[in-house]
Chains A and B, each alone.
Chain A
C-alpha cells in the first residue's frame, strides 16, 4: 500500500537540449507542510514546479499530486493545485474582485461578492483596491489577489514559484503570513525561492537544489537562518575553508 503524499516526485528528470535541468528528483510534500526549494538561477526549482503543474513533460520519472499522475491525468491533477507564479497574471481590465470572481467560477463555486471581498481582505488586499482595475495594482497587490484566488479555490496543494521576488519587505511579510495561514488550514505548499530567511520563516523543510539536483533537505525548525545560509553557501561555492583559500589567492 502506498502512502498518500500531497506531492510526490519519483525519479523526475528533465533536460533541455544538452542541459540537465532536473536530475532524478525524489521529493514528497505532506499535508499541512511547506517545503521550500532554495537554489540559484537554473538550479531546477521552476522546472520542478512546472513538472508538477504539467507545464512540462518529464523525460523520465513521475510527478503525483494527491496520488494523481500529472502526466496521465493533468487536468484532474491541476484541479487540486493553486499556482502562484513570480508575477501573477491577472486580467488588467477587470477589478480585483472581478478577477477572483472569475477564477472562483472556474472551480464551479458561486461565492457572493461579500465572501470574495473577505478572501481578498484576508490575503492582505485593502478594501479600497477591491473595485479598482488590476492594471493599477502593484506587483505585491497582484500577488495578494493570487493568494486570494488560491484561497478561493480551496486547493489542497499550493505551488509557489518565486512569489516573493521583487516585493518590498512589508508586502513580502504580508504574503508570507498568508502562506502560513494556508499551511495552518492544511494546505501543502511547495515554494521555489531565493530568500533563505523567508524560507526558514515559512518552511517546514528546505531543499537545496544545485544544477538540477536536490542535494540536501534540511529541517527548517532544527536550524537557524545563519546555519541554513552557511550550508547553502557551502553547496553553492564549496566548504568555507576552500572559499577562504580562493578569496586569499
Chain B
C-alpha cells in the first residue's frame, strides 16, 4: 500500500508546474556553485603551487648566509587543498592557508581569501554545501508542503483511508514518496559533485577522500531525510496547502537561516574572541621571554660554562650566542602553545555553544559534519598549523645547531646551499578521517537524534491527522 501511495505522489509531483522550474534552478545553481568552486580552487591551487616553488627557489638560492639570518629569512608552509573543499570550503576562506616559519615567532596563518574578496563577494559565497544545507530544505518544503494538507484539502485523504489504508501505511507511503524523490535528485547530484571535487584535488582520489565523500553523502542524506520528515509533520498539522506552506516557510527561516546565525552570535557573546592586538602582544611577549629575564640568562650561561669547564663564552667550543638562540626558542615555544591554546579553547567553547543550538536546527550539526568531512573545519586547520609549527621548530633548531657547532667565528659565519638542501619541504597530510572521527561524534549523534525525533513526531502528527479524518483509524 505504501508503495502505491509513494508512486502516486511521485507521479503527482512530476505534474506539478512548480517542480520543473525548481529542479532546473537547482541544477543551474549547483552547476554554478561547482564552476565557481572549480575556478576558486584552481586559482588558489595555482597561486599555492607557484608560491611554493618560488619559496623553495628563494630558499635554495639565498646564497651563503649566516644560519640565524637564514632562520629569519625562512620559508613558508603551505596547506594543501582538502579533497572535498570544492563541495564545502568551510573555514578555508577565513583561515590562512600558509604559515611563515621564521625564528623567534610563531606567526599566525596568512593568505586568507576573504581578505581579497570584495564586500559583495563575502555575502554571495555559493557552494554546493550551502545549497544542500539551505536550499535543500527549501526545495523539499516547497514540493512537499501539500503532502498531507493537500490530501485533506482535496478530500482524497478520506477517500484513501476509506479503502482500509491504516495510519501507519499512510505515513510510510508519504515518507517513502518524499525520501524517494529527494534521494533521486540528491544521490546523482552528490555523486557528480564528489567526483568533480575528488578529481579536481591536486593529490587525486585517495582512499581517505573516498571515505570522506561517503561520510559526507550519508550526512546530507540524513539531513535531507530529516527535512522530509519535518515537511510531512508540518503538512499533517494543517488542512490547507496554503497554511502548510506558510508554516513550512517559517520553519525553513528558523532552522536554515535564523538558528545558525543566532547560534553564532550567542557563541561569540559567550566566548568573545580576544582582540587581535592583545593576541599579538601576547605572542610578542612569548617571543621576548628570554630577553625579559636577565637572571635566567646569567644562570643558563653559567651552567653552560660549568658544563664545558670554560671561564667565559669566548673559550667555549660552541657558539654560545647560537646556543642562547635555541634556548630562547625552547622557552618561547610553550608560551606560543599557551597563547594559541587559549585561542583554541575560545574557539572550542564557541563551537560547543553553537552545538547546543543543534536542538533548534539540524542544519547546525549537518554543517559541522560537512566541514569536517570536507577537511575544511577549524580542527583540520589546527592540525595544519600545529604541523607547520612543529616543522618550524625543527627547522630553526637545525639552523641554530649548525650555527652553534660551526659558528665559533660569530655572525661572520655563513652556511651554504649544502645546508639549505638538508631541509625537507613542509608536507602536510591531513589525518585520515577514521582517525579523527571521534571529534565529530557529538554532531553525528545530534543529527541521528534529530532524525529519530523528526520521524517520531511526523508519525504522531500524521496519526493525529488521520484520526481527525477517521477517528477509528
Instruction: Please tell me if B166 contacts chain A, counting CB pairs below 8 Å.
Output: yes
Task: Check if B188 is an interface residue, CB within 8 A of chain A.
Answer: no
A223 at the interface (CB under 8 A from B): no
- B147-170 to A contact mask, C-beta < 8 Å, 1/0: 000000011101111111110000
Q: Contact partner of A89 among B12, B15, B156, CB < 8 A?
A: B156
Which stretch, B70-78, B111-119, B316-324, B464-472, touches the partner chain A?
B464-472
Q: Residue A197 at the B interface, CB < 8 A? A: no
Closest A residue to B161 by beta carbon equals: A78
Question: Which residues of B (323-366) have their CB < 8 Å from a CB of A?
Answer: none
Indicate if the CB atoms of B158 and A102 lie closer than 8 Å: no
What chain B residues lie within 8 Å of A108 (beta carbons)? 1
Inter-subunit contact B4/A106 (CB<8 Å): yes
A102 touches B8 (CB 8 A): yes
Instruction: Give a binary string over A81-107; 1 marks a CB under 8 Å from any B CB, 0 the rest.
Output: 101010111111110001000110111
A103 to B165, CA, bound (A): 10
| B interface residue count range (under 10 / 10 to 19 / 20 to 34 / 35 or more) | 20 to 34
Instruction: Give a binary string over A53-89; 1 marks a CB under 8 Å from any B CB, 0 the rest.
Output: 1111100000000000011001111111101010111
Contact with B along A32-62 (1 / 0, CB 8 A): 0000000000000000000001111100000
* Residue among B3, B11, B165, B470 making CB contact with A94, cutoff 8 Å: B11
Cα–Cα distance between A103 and B159 once the two chains are bound (Å): 10
| Contact (Cβ within 8 A) A89 B154 | yes
- Given A76-B164, A81-B162, A107-B163, decide whether A98 and B11 contact each other with a Cβ distance below 8 A: yes
A70 B8 Cβ-Cβ under 8 A: no
Asked whether A144 is an interface residue with its Cβ less than 8 Å from the other chain, the reply is no
Distance of A185 Cα from B155 Cα, bound (Å): 29
Residues of B within 8 A of A98 (CB): 11
Q: Which chain A residues (83-139) contact chain B, with CB distance < 8 Å? A: 83, 85, 87-94, 98, 102-103, 105-108
- Say yes or no: is A153 at the interface (Cβ < 8 Å to chain B): yes
The distance in angstroms between the C-alpha atoms of A18 and B470, with both chains bound, is 22
Contacts of A107 in B (CB 8 A): 163
Chain B residues with CB under 8 Å of A79's CB are 163-164
How many whole Å from A150's CB to the nearest CB in chain B?
10
Q: Which of B12, B158, B159, B163 has the largest count of A CB atoms less than 10 A from its CB?
A: B163
In the A-B complex, the 5 residue pairs with the closest CB atoms: A89-B155, A54-B472, A79-B164, A74-B472, A105-B4
